[in-house]
Amino acid sequence: MNDAGNLMDFLDEPFPDVGTYEDFHTIDWLREKSRDTDRHRKITSKSKESIWEFIKSLLDAWSGWLVMLLIGLLSGTLAGVIDLAVDWMTDLKEGVCLSALWYSHEQCCWTSNETTFADRDKCPQWQKWAELMTGYTEGAGVYLLNYFLYVLWALFFSFLAVSLVRVFAPYACGSGIPEVQKTKLIFHSRYPKQHLQMHASNFSQSLKCVFKYVNVFVSLQVSYYFPLKTLWRSFFAALVAAFTLRSINPFGNNRLVLFYVEYHTPWYMAELVPFILLGVFGGLWGTLFIRCNIAWCRRRKTTRLGKYPVLEVIVVTGITAVLAFPNPYTRRSTSELISELFNDCGSLESSQLCDYINNPNMSRPVDDIPDRPAGPGVYSALWQLALALVFKIVITIFTFGMKIPSGLFIPSMAVGAIAGRIVGIAVEQMAYHHHDWIIFKNWCRPGADCVTPGLYAMVGAAACLGGVTRMTVSLVVIMFELTGGLEYIVPLMAAAVTSKWVADAFGKEGIYEAHIQLNGYPYLDQDEFTHRTLATDVMRPRRNEPPLALLTQDSTTVEDVETLIKDTDYNGFPVVVSHESERLIGFVQRRDLILAIKSARQKQDGVVSNSVVHFTEDAPQIPASNPQPLKLRRILNLSPFTVTDHTPMETVVDIFRKLGLRQCLVTRSGRLLGIITKKDVLRHMAQMMNQDPESIMFN
């Protein structure tokens, strides 16, 4: 009897790794909150015992903030390094800086003393590959050699990216936002930084950081459980990351925004019409993209194409690079393209988009240049932008969802920015040549700076991004953060809301929700559940189904538990007093059971297959001839979330959403009747919408 007592005292100690989660498993927030509260209560009580315990309590209180500080420093540093590395690797496909191999094209010419204003993007230190190899700068051979090396570099970078994902980080593929919305378990520092056609160089893996206190994640939508403490600590981490990024100054403009804009002309009410039209275009583009991309991704998952992800990446990259090189607007990185499209044409701009016919007698300040007739460079750029628009629309459909780290923000913004710049130039030229029209007469006088095409590019980028993601308020905030254009919130809002309305007319799902459904992630959206059904209609087991798999508090053996784990794939099991009464005691997680039994078998020889598992508080009285029992009271959740069988499903769905539950137990007067999981809720919601519930597949 004493040996049994000692054994049980030993096994009542914490088991290694118990209470942890496997990758891509949803956190049980109620359980974690209860455990954290108990931990804080114990630390507080011990802090009064001695000075050392008091110091330990202070260290524990500050440990969460210390973790946030480290996350912020690491995130800011990583973001800055990625920015610099992406620029360098993008330019590496065209040439190299002889003075410093690690410099990008822009950085190389910054440090040059031989750069002229007319050719400020050209300097002797930067040489294209053909010039470096042959010594010539022009000619058909030079062009073909640069063409070939551009494609070769793109193929190399894409192969490197997909190989890193395949070998080291399978979860790093895609944008990561659907996975974050589903799991909220992993801190994704994924940079959807560039499009595959120029951006196969972005092969950074997603950063996984799971810490004791909070889960902080980079996501555009905060769903389910998000306590205030986590919000403050997330804000602190973001503050530190922003300060770190500002110190690195990766954009070279002493600013944190990627596409900083500074327009010198206000927008006018009449311009809301083209802004709304850009919103309509964004909604239509979003609908087209979602349907085509989901159809292609579904084909990838259901055909032999999905078995060759590396080959797919290589082929798509090769086709993209071959088609992208001839057009200067698709050859450059998408970030550079968007930055050029957003910019206003001043006297210092040398872009082809700023090739206007100037009045030689004009004597205006540099920042107050009036509208001018478009020159040949502008018209040539319009044709190239039109071809680039078609190219971006088509290629983005095939690249999003491939097995590489690639996001959708920058590609979607590029589509909208191209369309917006084209519309902006068209409105600008109409206002110049027809300033006597009634729509221009009140606000666009001859010789005035009336229209800013760069603003139209920014509005178009917001419209297309909104049409794809169905974001509104957060989208406007993101655009403000990317550009710094606070006074242009109204045009951005008009375009974002219009694009959402138009896109919603063809379907309510954004691209991330569509991919969540395609990949089978158990995610509850925010739509209201208005059907009058009860928990008893959804719970399992149902009629003609096997009985509920459960454990008893003091009559189940280790062998019974191991058999139950082997024969089922449930994440946990209810614990009842006995099979006869089925009075609910608690709930135990599958992973905790496995780890606890494994640890007990390794540390104590007395635990055998016919040892009785006890979930009770008091030590049982057992004969000396019986095998040693195994006490697992510590891993038992004594307060699982329960509802009665007559609880409306509207309430159950709301509980699952707001508390982030994985499952809840259904009882009547303390007697266990069944269980409802998040997947059961999703199947029931599909059934209520006249969909086949069995057609919903979960990964």
Alpha-carbon span 200 to 175, nearest angstrom = 14
> Which whole number is the average pLDDT over 553-582?
91
- Alpha-carbon gap, residue 384 to 31, rounded angstroms: 57
For residues 381 and 165, the answer to whether their CB atoms sit within 8 Å is: no
Mind listing the pLDDT tens digit for each residue in 74-98? 999 998 898 888 888 888 888 898 8
Q: What local confidence, expressed as pLDDT, does residue 495 receive?
A: 92
SS (H, E, C) 181-233: HHHCCCCCCCCCCCCHHHHCCCCCCCCCCCCCCCCCCCCCCCCCCCCHHHHHH
pLDDT at 227 (0 to 100): 67
Query: Which of helix, strand or coil describes residue 663?
Result: strand
Is the dihedral angle over the CA atoms 405, 406, 409, 410 positive or is it negative? positive
Q: Which of 127, 129, 93, 123 is nearest to 110 (CA)?
A: 123
Residues near 504 by beta carbon (within 8 Å), at least 6 away in sequence? 283, 470
Measured in whole angstroms, how far is the alpha carbon of residue 329 from the centre of its chain?
A: 27
| pLDDT value of residue 100 | 83
Query: Per-residue pLDDT for 508 more than 80?
Result: yes
Task: In whole angstroms, give the CA distance from residue 203 to residue 82.
Answer: 10
Q: Give 348-399 pLDDT, tens digit per residue.
A: 667 888 888 876 655 554 455 666 788 888 999 999 999 999 999 999 999 9
Q: Distance (Å, rounded) from C-alpha 14 to C-alpha 632?
A: 10
The second-level CATH assignment, the architecture, of 535-689 is: Roll (3.10)
Q: How far apart are CA 158 and CA 173, in angstroms?
A: 12
Decide: 449 and 408 in contact? Cβ < 8 Å.
Answer: no
Q: Which of 1-15, 324-338, 554-568 has the lowest mean pLDDT?
A: 1-15
Q: How confident is the model at residue 699 (pLDDT cuts 50, 70, 90)?
A: low
d(CA 395, CA 409): 14
Q: Which two tokens stand for residue 108?
A: 């190389």
> What pLDDT is stored for residue 10 in this prediction?
40
Decide: pTM greater than 0.85: no
Question: What is the rounded CA–CA span in Å between residue 240 and residue 230?
Answer: 15
User: Region 459-487: what's the mean pLDDT?
Assistant: 82
Return d(Cα 368, Cα 346) in angstroms, integer: 8
For residues 356 and 378, the answer to whether their CB atoms sit within 8 Å is yes
Given pLDDT bands bounded at 50, 70 and 90, which one contains residue 134?
Answer: confident
The predicted pLDDT at position 82 comes to 87
Q: Residue 418's pLDDT is what?
A: 96
Instruction: Check residue 436 and give its pLDDT.
Output: 79
Domain boundaries, the chain: 24-137+174-237, 260-306+334-344+370-519, 535-689
d(CA 506, CA 289): 12
Nearest to 188 by CA among 401, 402, 410, 24: 24
Least confident of 257-266, 377-386, 511-520, 611-620: 257-266
The secondary structure element, H or E, covering residue 677 is strand 671-677
Class of 260-306+334-344+370-519 in CATH: mainly alpha
**Distance separating alpha carbons of residues 111 and 132, to the nearest angstrom:** 20
Q: What pLDDT, in 10s, does the model give residues 553-567?
A: 888 899 999 999 999
Burial of 62 (0-12, 13-18, 19+ CB in 10 A): exposed
Would you state the pLDDT for residue 23? 66
Q: Which of 500, 407, 492 has its CA nearest to residue 177?
A: 407
> Does residue 614 sit in helix, strand or coil?
strand
Cα–chain center distance at 90: 23
pLDDT band at 225 (very low <50, low <70, confident <90, very high): low
Q: Which two tokens stand for residue 380?
A: 């040539």
Better pLDDT: 362 or 222: 362
The per-residue pLDDT for range 108-122, each reduced to its tens digit, is 887 666 665 556 567
First to last CA, the chain: 48
Confidence of residue 4 (pLDDT cuts 50, 70, 90): very low
On whether the CB atoms of residues 96 and 342 are closer than 8 A, the answer is no
218/240 Cα distance (integer angstroms): 14
540: left (phi over 0), alpha (psi -120 to 50) or beta: beta
Structure tokens at 533: 């059904």
Q: Please tell me whether residue 481 adopts helix, strand or coil conformation.
A: helix
3-state DSSP of 349-391 = CCCHHHCECCCCCCCCCCCCCCCCCECHHHHHHHHHHHHHHHH
